[in-house]
Each structure stands twice: as C-alpha cells, then as structure tokens.
Amino acid sequence: MKTISGILNKWLLVPFNRFLKTGLSPDKLAQSFSFGVILGLMPLPGSSLTCTLASILFRLNFGAIQLINYMVAPVQLVLLIPFYKAGAAITGSDVMKGSFDDIANRFKTDLWAVLYELGSTAVAAVAIWAVISVPLGIVLYRVSLPVFTKLSSRQKGENNASGNP
C-alpha cells in the first residue's frame, strides 16, 4: 500500500520539480499552482478554459496550471452540490430540493422557470466560490511558494554538485 507522502511525491512534487528544471521560477510556479486550484474548483464547467485564460493573462505556466486543474477535478465534483445548495439558499430557490425524479418532473412541467432558477442558483454559487477563492488563493500561494523555493534551491544544489550549470 502506498503512503500519502509517496503519492504526493509522485503526483505533485516530481511534476513540479520538472517544471522548475525548465527554468520556471518558484514564484510563477506557486502562482500557477494557486490559480490551478481555485479555478479548478469553480462550480461551473469550463475550468480548462478559465485556466488557459489565466495562464495567458498572468503569464503563468500553462502545463502547471492545467495539471493542478485536472488534479482537483474530483474535488470540484464533490463541491458542486454544496455550492449549488448554498446558492439555492441565498436565492430562495427550490431547484436543489427533492429527489432526482422531482427535479426531472419540474423540468417537464415548466422548463423555463426551472432553467431560470438554476441559472440564478449558479450565479449565486459562483459568487460564493469567488468570495472563498480570493483568501484561498492567497493562502495557497503563501504556503506553496516556500515549498517551490526549497525545491528550486535543492535542485540548484544538486546541479552544482554534479557539475551541471
């Protein structure tokens, strides 16, 4: 059985160490990591597109931001229901109440009303995500920057010891 540290090393540290070997600074890698997580948790489809836009706008590493985006996809799926339930509570919508059959029957009886409720619930869910994402992004950046800086300095030390520039 694999340990948590082994899994983290294989799926997180090794790929990010490779990004550092390409010359990416620890600062840009920490920014890419933070944006990848927060955009990957957005309660709407299209996080790959938003990550692409963020990598262009902020000159982040596209591979790093997409890697993290894909890694947090299972967490995004788990958080969809809580985000939408919170959004429904804010808007006073009943769109998230009842069983799947109840929701399907509401779609059959009044499609446009349900779509309107679902849309307003989605807007509220995204607003909740945005409020949470700003402090989460700052914390992720502040926590990951020292990690990537240490990885970078360790890597430079190994390169100097082996005679590589």
Which tens digits make up the pLDDT trace of 7-17? 767 777 777 77
Total number of domains in the chain? 1
- pLDDT of amino acid 99: 80
**Helix H or strand E segment including 23:** none
**Quick one: pLDDT band at residue 162, thresholds 50, 70, 90?**
low
Mean pLDDT value across residues 110-128: 91
pTM above 0.85, yes or no: no
Burial of 85 (0-12, 13-18, 19+ CB in 10 A): middle
Domain that holds residue 41: 4-162
pLDDT at 163: 56
Q: Across the chain, what does the average pLDDT equal? A: 87
* Surface-to-core class of residue 147, CB atoms within 10 Å of its CB (0-12 exposed, 13-18 middle, 19+ buried): middle
CA distance 30 to 49: 20
Please write the tens of the pLDDT for every residue from 90-103: 999 888 787 878 87
- The tokens for 39 are 């955009």
